[in-house]
Amino acid sequence: MAKLKVTQIRSTIDRKEPQKRTIEALGLGKIRRSVLHNDTPQIRGMINAVRHLVTVEEVNE
């Protein structure tokens, strides 16, 4: 299964509360922090909600 490397590139300061919670749920919270997630529709939806705050790379295992 493919994985997604999600990296936060922008701050959550002055963002709406749902966006802050989504960043937290993804395991982020600090700029330049990266996490790996399985490529699922749920994760894709979360990334889409905060796409202006993160970058995404596909990683093959």
pTM equals: 0.93
Under a CB-based contact definition with an 8 Å cutoff, are residues 9 and 31 in contact? Answer: yes
| Domains of the chain, CATH where assigned | 3-59 (3.30.1390.20)
Predicted pLDDT at 1: 81
Q: Cα 14 to the chain's mean position, in Å?
A: 17
CA angle centred on 46, ends 25 and 12, rounded to 5°: 60
Question: Residue 46 is which amino acid?
Answer: M
- Go through the chain and tell me how many residues it has: 61
Mean pLDDT split into 10-residue runs, the chain, 61 residues: 96 98 98 97 98 96 74
Sheet architecture: strand order including 3-8: 34-38, 3-8, 54-59
